[in-house]
Each structure stands twice: as structure tokens, then as C-alpha cells.
């Protein structure tokens, strides 16, 4: 797992372009949605590849831990990441 410095420039998963990869820094938000995201393996340090967006622009398709996951851009904006 990559070591993330607290001061590294960060962005959110929702602001990434298809084809970019990133490492998760923190998960914001709360309640059911946040819990679901961490349960699905979106935890700090995890490497995520943004594969594509749906034809209408939302939701996103990401690749992590060897599988494909779909989530809405609004929720992806709560995930702080560092580009790699």
C-alpha cells in the first residue's frame, strides 16, 4: 500500500477522467452510502482505476480489488483521492 502524505495534492474520484488511476485517501459522506462504499473495498490506500462513465455521463464504472463497481458521480465526489 502506498504511503500517503497528508499534504499531497488531492482531488476527488468524481473529478477524475476515464482512464485515470488513483489511490484513495479518505472517504467522506455518512450513513448507508458511506458504509456501502467502504464495505465494497473503497478504503484508504486502495488503488482505483476509473474505467468509464455511463453513456449519459453518470454513473461511473471503476475497477478495484479485481472487480468492477458502479457508483454515482455525486457519491464519488465524497471520495478524496490522490492521482497516480
Partner 1 sequence: MKIALTGNPNSGKTTLFNLYTGSNQYVGNWAGVTVEKKEGAFSYNGQTITLVDLPGIYSLSPYSMEEIITRNVLINERPDVLIDVVDGSNIERNLYLAVQLMELSVPMVLAVNMMDELEARGDKLDCGKLSRLLGVPVVPITARKAQNTELLLDTAVELARTSSYNPRRPVGQIQYDNTTSRVIREIYALLWEQPKLRGLPLWFYASKLLEGDQQAIQALQPDKKMLNKIEALVKSYEATSFYGDRETMLADARYKAITDIVAKSMVKRGGENSLTLSDKIDLVVTNRVLALPIFLLMMFLTFAATFGPVGDFLSEGIEHLLKNVLGGWVTARLDAAQAPGWTYGLLVDAVIGGVGGVLTFLPQIMILFTCLSLLEDSGYMARAAFIMDKLLHKIGLTGKSFIPMLMGFGCTTPAVMAARTMENERDRRLTIMITPFMSCGARLPIYALFAGTFFASHQGLVVFSMYLIGMVVAILSGLILKNTLFRGKVAPFVMELPPYRLPSLDALGRHVWEKCKGFLIKAGTLIFSMSVVIWLLQNFSWSLQLVEDNAQSIFASIGKAVAPVFAPLGFGNWQAAVSILAGLVAKETVVTSMMVLYGAASQAELAAILPTVFTNLSAFSFMVFCLLYMPCMSAFVSIRREMNSLKWALGTALFSTAVAYIVSLLLYQIGKIFLL
Site residues (CB under 8 A) for partner 1? 1, 6, 26-27, 31-41, 43-46, 49, 52, 54-59, 61, 65-72, 75
Separation between Cα atoms, residue 63 and residue 5, nearest integer Å:
24
**Cβ atoms of 60 and 46 closer than 8 Å:** no
**Cβ atoms of 69 and 79 closer than 8 Å:** no
11 vs 21, which CB is nearer to partner 1?
A: 21
What residue ranges in 1-84 does DSSP mark as E strands?
11-12, 21-27, 47-53, 60-64, 67-71, 79-83
15 vs 33, which CB is nearer to partner 1?
A: 33
Give the shortest CB-22-to-partner 1 separation in angstroms: 14
Give the shortest CB-16-to-partner 1 separation in angstroms: 16
Give the shortest CB-28-to-partner 1 separation in angstroms: 9
Amino acid at each position: 500500500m502506498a504511503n500517503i502524505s497528508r499534504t499531497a495534492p488531492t482531488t476527488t474520484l468524481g473529478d477524475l477522467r476515464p482512464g485515470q488511476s488513483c489511490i484513495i485517501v479518505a472517504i467522506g459522506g455518512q450513513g448507508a452510502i458511506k458504509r456501502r462504499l467502504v464495505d465494497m473495498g473503497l478504503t484508504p490506500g486502495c488503488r482505483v482505476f476509473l474505467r468509464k462513465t455511463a453513456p449519459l455521463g453518470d454513473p461511473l464504472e471503476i475497477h478495484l480489488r479485481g472487480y468492477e463497481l458502479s457508483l454515482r458521480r455525486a457519491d464519488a465526489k465524497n471520495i478524496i483521492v490522490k492521482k497516480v
